[in-house]
Chain A
Amino acid sequence: MSAIVDGIDSTIGYADDRLSSAGFLKRNLKKVFPDHWSFMLGEIALYSFIILLISGVYLTLFFKPSMTEVVYNGSYTILKGVKMSEAFASTLNISFDVRGGLLMRQIHHWAALFFIASISVHMCRVFFTGAFRKPRELNWVVGTLLLITGILEGFAGYSLPDDLLSGTGLRIAEGIVQATPILGTYVSFLLFGGPFPGNDFIARLYTVHVLLVPGLILALITAHLMMVWYQKHTQFPGPGRTEKNVVGYPLMPVYMAKAGGFFFVVFGITTLLSALVTINPVWMYGPYVPDQVTAGSQPDFYIGWLDGAVRLMPNWEINLWHHYTLSLNIMIPAMIIPGLLFTGIALFPWLESWVTGDKRVHHILDRPRNAPTRTALGVGTIAFYGMLWLSGGNDIIATTFTIPFNTITWVLRFAIFIVPPLAFIVTRRFCVSLQRRDHDKLLHGRETGRILRHPSGEFTEIHASISDAERAVIMSKQDIIPIASPLASDAHGVRNPAGVIGRVRAGLSRFYYGPNIALPTAAELEAAATHLEHEAHSAVPVIEREARLEVTGGGGVLRDPGPDGQSGHNH
């Protein structure tokens, strides 16, 4: 044992002589990370990426990225003798003739789904808690880029096997490229080495999938983690937690064990899922043949909303001077909507701070209720995404529920404009109601469930003050006054050149902070504390009096669930 200890000691010394690393270790081995289940979402994304690298390297050793036509002669008898590309034949080979090959393929596909799903949910967490605010705006942009590159990488990956489903997806992608004004046709011919499908595309896409995009993702993840490390993690509000500190558990040993262990949990679950649940059974779709398509074909889930947008769009096409065609039916859903959505997401930290005028540094997370407009915008965007996603499955909905797809499409064409604003309004009201409840709790305490009957016959419920922990969480709310509108003109009647933009900004700011329920003032809090104390005092003698007064019916405790107040009430 002491040999190992000596070895580690001298390794740290050896590294320190050359890299001056002991100072770094001293500072960081006990680096504190705050604990919350939602902080694991980003971890899932990171671990899925590592799993993707491991399983991906394995797959490259067996996959042949070639469109050369071969006759299949492997052990999947149904396709024996069928002509197909080498890419598809080698995918079948991996699935049926390489031991463990199918497992690795399925691990790769499941991990890709987890990667994008966990990025999306992680992003929601960061958004709804305001973790993107200063100083983390740049990392939010890196995260947005990771989502975009993740979607591209996923699409490239499932297009590689050259099966009927992915070939159809590529044909659609090619149509979208072709619809780009001015450059589209040329870009499409360059990408595919001529008309679709050509002979080159799978090999080119392979380089993009195994080198270009993963390299980009790796660089972005590195930047992402370095920023998290250097800026330190945000934390939820709570007792003892301030903007100036980090409260949590040390890297060594707790986080080493928890985060390291969690990697194995993610890997283990992905492997078990891949062992038991088939994903992307390309052998059932068959090789890509350009004149065939399967009805009810569905892309991976993260492409669904784009496909849905394309399905929903009315067939607008503009002919320009009889020479050019502007395919709005493709450009709007496949380029403009995702472009605006991702740009809006990436720029949101700056848009918000422009509207709110909040340029402060934030390390304590917002509770979603305390930023009602932001939370409502997020839910509205999710609703918008959800409508597109439903539209992507309109044929499945049609066949499952035997509703004409025309009806579904028309309903969704209206719903896309109605449901997100409704979601916005409902969410905002919901947040304000929660704020109101917090306000009540501060001023009137929590309901104990103990009902008093007074000698006068009046019934009241006894309230007790909330715990310090809960008070700290509620009091973390920061009230901000909306930006004031600038004067339209000065005392001499000279028009303020910044007046219009300033008024717009002030209007947006009022809209953003409009439905705020301000925290009680210090005086109000003090009065409430005195009142609650008084109530607590007055309640005790009443309970004690109960036995004496019971017979006379002169008032007393009607229902007393005990001192903890645990009677199925809220607390």
Chain B
Amino acid sequence: MTEHHSTDVDHGHADGLPEHKLRRTDVFPRAEKRAVRQVAAMFGLSAIAGIGTIAAFFAFPADRLITVPALGQMSAQNVVVGGLMGVSILLIGLGAIHWARKLMPDHELVQERHDLDSTYADRKAAIDEFWSGAEASGFINRKIIRRSLLGAMALFPLPIIVLFKDLGPMPGTSLRHTIWKAGEQIVTDPQERPIRPEDIPVGGLVNAMPVSLRKLQDKQGNSNEGVKSVIVLVRMRPDEIVAQQGKNWDYQGIVAYSKVCTHLGCPISLYEHRTHHLLCPCHQSTFDLADAGKVVFGPAARRMPQLPITVDADGYLVAAADFAEPVGPSFWELG
């Protein structure tokens, strides 16, 4: 590895490095001294800001708020501790770079590159070594050993993969059912109030869920059932309903649809009552609740499943059955 200074390099069509230009700090001692002072000042200020950071950490409790101009109310800890710490760290960097740029030697150096490829002899020796080793092992000639080893190696990952099996249960039919069943009372979400048909005005929308959901979720300790069983109730004039997924699945113009997007499972909450369109905020799939929940726009492929509803003896809305189709995103075995 050889080094040249700019003058004695001459390669190819390029005629040497550009002429080295002296910096002010190379020429004027005063400029040099000023640069030294600047670098030292940055390192010194960094240390002061560092000590300030420690002081601020103890000075401000976690919940103190301060008002920062143009940024509004912010956590005092975050602004002051973070600000001082940031300055302290930044000044070390700026000082070091300033030092390098103004005071360290700025002569460009030239180093030769070494060729990456080895000599032909070395390369051939390596190849020969490999084959002589392979030959000596008998891997090439002893077919039975080779084949049985390859077989064993191919099988080797399988037991390990199988050991992961108990990460979770198999899907079974769980994606096809929800906890809705005939007579399951419909209650508002999240207040859990039972609903009478007359509670919902024409054009109105109510978020709802099965009455048994909360208790079940508390028992299971997760929201697996809630993910599937949340619905929206919408009332329209009976003559506005173009189609439903089953005969008389509405109750006096009240229709119940799943709230879970059939695209990728986002809960849908945006309803436009004039068009009866339900819009998913995640990917803008749009469903027409007046027309059997069919997809009118967006990437969702399947219509929104409808829940058949009726009223119980006390006049409260209840489900007439579970959904007839799986709710939520599609899956391979859906069919």
Given contacts A30-B3, A291-B209, contact A171 B264 (CB under 8 A): yes
Contact B112 A245 (CB under 8 A): yes
**Is B335 an interface residue, CB under 8 A from the partner?**
yes
Chain B nearest CB: distance from A45 CB in Å?
Answer: 17
Q: Interface centre among B62, B110, B167, B331, by most A CB within 10 Å? A: B331
Given contacts A271-B82, A310-B299, contact A32 B111 (CB under 8 A): yes
User: Which of A181-189, A339-347, A552-560 makes up part of the contact surface?
Assistant: A181-189
**Is A276 an interface residue, CB under 8 A from the partner?**
yes
Q: Which of A283-341 contact B (CB under 8 A)?
A: 289-297, 307, 310-317, 319, 322-327, 329-330, 333
Q: Which of A225-246 contact B (CB under 8 A)?
A: 231-232, 238-246
In this complex, what residue of B is CB-closest to A333? B299
Q: Which of A182-198 contact B (CB under 8 A)?
A: 182-186, 188-198
Complex Cα distance, B95 from A323, in Å, reads: 68
**Is B332 an interface residue, CB under 8 A from the partner?**
yes
**Is A261 an interface residue, CB under 8 A from the partner?**
yes
Chain A nearest CB: distance from B123 CB in Å?
Answer: 15
Contact B332 A297 (CB under 8 A): no
Complex Cα distance, B74 from A300, in Å, reads: 23
Contact A253 B104 (CB under 8 A): yes
Contacts of A100 in B (CB 8 A): 57, 77, 81
Given contacts A261-B96, A271-B89, contact A179 B78 (CB under 8 A): no
**Is B160 an interface residue, CB under 8 A from the partner?**
no
Contact-residue size bin, chain A (C-beta under 8 Å from the other chain): 35 or more
**Is A249 an interface residue, CB under 8 A from the partner?**
yes
**Is A153 an interface residue, CB under 8 A from the partner?**
no
Contacts of B63 in A (CB 8 A): 75, 96-97
Given contacts A249-B109, A265-B97, A291-B230, contact A325 B329 (CB under 8 A): no
Given contacts A135-B116, A315-B295, contact A261 B266 (CB under 8 A): no
Chain B nearest CB: distance from A266 CB in Å?
Answer: 8
Contact B17 A240 (CB under 8 A): yes
Contact B96 A260 (CB under 8 A): yes
Contacts of B267 in A (CB 8 A): 290-293
Contact A248 B109 (CB under 8 A): yes
Contacts of B320 in A (CB 8 A): none
Contacts of B87 in A (CB 8 A): 268, 272
Q: Which of B161-194 contact A (CB under 8 A)?
A: 164-165, 167-171, 174-175, 189
**Is B300 an interface residue, CB under 8 A from the partner?**
yes
Chain B nearest CB: distance from A480 CB in Å?
Answer: 17
Contact B97 A246 (CB under 8 A): no
User: Which of B5-13, B126-134, B235-243, B310-318 makes up part of the contact surface?
Assistant: B5-13
In this complex, what residue of A is CB-closest to B280? A293
User: B14, B81, B95, B106: which contacts A242 (Cβ < 8 A)?
Assistant: B14
Contacts of B105 in A (CB 8 A): 254
In this complex, what residue of B is CB-closest to A167? B223
User: B6, B89, B108, B227: which contacts A195 (Cβ < 8 A)?
Assistant: B227
Chain B nearest CB: distance from A333 CB in Å?
Answer: 8
Indicate with 1 or 0, residue by residue over A343-373, a CB within 8 angstroms of chain B CB atoms. 0000000000000000001010000000000
Contact B86 A269 (CB under 8 A): yes
Complex Cα distance, B77 from A75, in Å, reads: 15
**Is A542 an interface residue, CB under 8 A from the partner?**
no
Contact A325 B331 (CB under 8 A): yes
Contacts of A325 in B (CB 8 A): 330-335
**Is A114 an interface residue, CB under 8 A from the partner?**
no
Complex Cα distance, B332 from A324, in Å, reads: 5
Complex Cα distance, B264 from A327, in Å, reads: 11
**Is B48 an interface residue, CB under 8 A from the partner?**
no
Q: Interface centre among A269, A290, A319, A326, by most B CB within 10 Å? A: A290
**Is B139 an interface residue, CB under 8 A from the partner?**
no
Contact A195 B174 (CB under 8 A): yes
Contact surface of B with A, Cβ cutoff 8 Å: 1, 3, 6, 9, 11-18, 57, 60-63, 68, 71, 74-75, 77-83, 85-97, 99-101, 104-106, 108-113, 116, 164-165, 167-171, 174-175, 189, 207, 209, 221-224, 226-228, 230, 259, 263-270, 281-285, 295, 297-302, 328-335
Contact surface of A with B, Cβ cutoff 8 Å: 27, 30-32, 67-69, 75, 96-103, 106, 135, 168, 171-172, 174-176, 178-186, 188-200, 231-232, 238-250, 253-254, 257-258, 260-276, 278, 289-297, 307, 310-317, 319, 322-327, 329-330, 333, 361, 363, 394-395, 405-406, 409, 468-469, 472, 475
24 contacts between A and B (CB under 8 A): A99-B77, A103-B85, A188-B331, A198-B222, A199-B221, A238-B18, A245-B9, A246-B112, A247-B110, A249-B108, A253-B104, A254-B104, A257-B96, A263-B93, A291-B230, A293-B267, A296-B281, A297-B281, A325-B332, A325-B334, A330-B330, A361-B116, A409-B298, A475-B13
